[in-house]
Amino acid sequence: MPGHETWTDRQETTTVTVDGHELEVAYFEDGEQQSDDPPVVFLHGIPTWSFLWRDVAPEIAADRRVIAPDLLGYGNSAMRDGFDRSIRAQEEMVDALLDELGVETVSLVAHDIGGGVALRYAAHNPDAVEELVLSNAVCYDSWPVEFINGLGLPSTAEMPDEELDSKLDFAFADGLYDDEGHEEFVEGMKAPWQSEDGKLSLSRNAVATNTNHTTELDYEAIEAETLLLWGGDDVLQPVSYAERLAEDIGDAEVVTLDDAYHWVVEDRPEAYRDRLAEFLKQQGS
């Protein structure tokens, strides 16, 4: 369970081109290719970063190569102004990053808007995605939620540190099922947004949420073996959306984890990790 500074120290960086912009992407990588099974790529959502996967990705790396990037505008990836951070642009980033790393086929594990990115990538590249795991993911018209709309206001970039800290406490601490033992998660999730560049980037990330990027998708084009591993008590992305996805994706299973809100990876890390590992082993070679 590395702290956020240790996680940052373990990240690598590369530069990708998205919409003509050269942008730095930070990513965590671990494990080795031990079989024909593809790497497992973990995608986080808003307002998190790859640190979300700190209790999951290193364990999966015992059997598979894992890659967990910070989306553009998040974590330790590019935060400067002047580029698109929508899930369409993040899909392009993933494609460019995988090309940079020499990866042709993947297993995708994604949460929140990372799920929207994964859905787009899987629908547009059905031959490249062997396994797809979505957790409390945005889809159809399920997003953006009111809190994220609020962060997209211009005032976010000029907000006093104490006020932003209070808003992020609400998002992270109050969004957990259990009130105890999550200090590392809360502090780690707030860390990227506590600079002037971070506050501006957070506002730009929020305003870039575009429902059209999931309503336009042909979900039936997805061919990957799919697990919808959902926090069952989430009110932001309720399990009814997982059930709708299961109807449209040909080979999909819904598994709900009780006692878990939107931050299911943090609420139920052991159960999440175990069920994910079981799915990957079942589908693997």
pLDDT digits (tens, 9 = 90+) for 99-114: 999 999 999 999 999 9
Per-residue pLDDT at 157: 85
Q: What is the pTM of this model?
A: 0.97
In a domain, 150, yes or no: no
The token pair that represents 46 in the structure block: 């808003």
pLDDT tens-place string over residues 55-87: 999 999 999 999 999 999 999 999 999 999 999
In a domain, 259, yes or no: yes
Is residue 264's pLDDT more than 80? Answer: yes
Instruction: Say if residues 98 and 69 touch (Cβ distance below 8 Å).
Output: no
How many domains does the chain divide into? 1
Instruction: Say if residues 157 and 199 touch (Cβ distance below 8 Å).
Output: yes
In a domain, 158, yes or no: no
Round to whole Å and give the CA distance between 113 and 143: 9
Dihedral angle computed from the Cα positions of residues 20, 22, 26 and 30, in that order, rounded to the nearest 10 degrees: 80
Q: What is the mean pLDDT of the chain?
A: 95
Is residue 34's pLDDT more than 80? Answer: no
Residue 99 parent element (H or E): helix 87-100
Higher pLDDT, 283 or 278: 278
Give the torsion sign (CA, 143, 146, 151, 152). positive
Q: What is the CATH number of the domain that holds 130?
A: 3.40.50.1820
pLDDT tens-place string over residues 139-166: 999 999 999 999 998 888 888 999 999 9
Rounded to whole angstroms, what are the CA distances from 283 to 68, 225, 253?
A: 20, 8, 13
Round to whole Å and give the CA distance between 87 and 91: 6
Own/partner long-range contacts of 267-276 (Cβ < 8 Å, ≥24 apart):
267/176, 267/177, 267/178, 267/231, 268/231, 269/55, 269/56, 272/56, 272/135, 272/229, 273/55, 273/56, 273/59, 273/60, 275/227, 275/229, 276/56, 276/60, 276/109, 276/133, 276/227, 276/229
In a domain, 186, yes or no: no
Band (180; pLDDT cuts 50, 70, 90): confident
- Domain range for 93 is 4-141+211-283
Q: Which of 186, 201, 263, 203 is nearest to 77 (CA)?
A: 201
Round to whole Å and give the CA distance between 98 and 105: 9
**In whole angstroms, how large is the CA radius of gyration of the chain?**
17
Strand order in the sheet with 106-111: 12-18, 21-30, 66-69, 40-43, 106-111, 129-135, 225-231, 252-257
Per-residue pLDDT at 285: 54
Band (284; pLDDT cuts 50, 70, 90): low
Round to whole Å and give the CA distance between 285 and 279: 12
Highest mean pLDDT among 145-159, 174-188, 269-283: 269-283
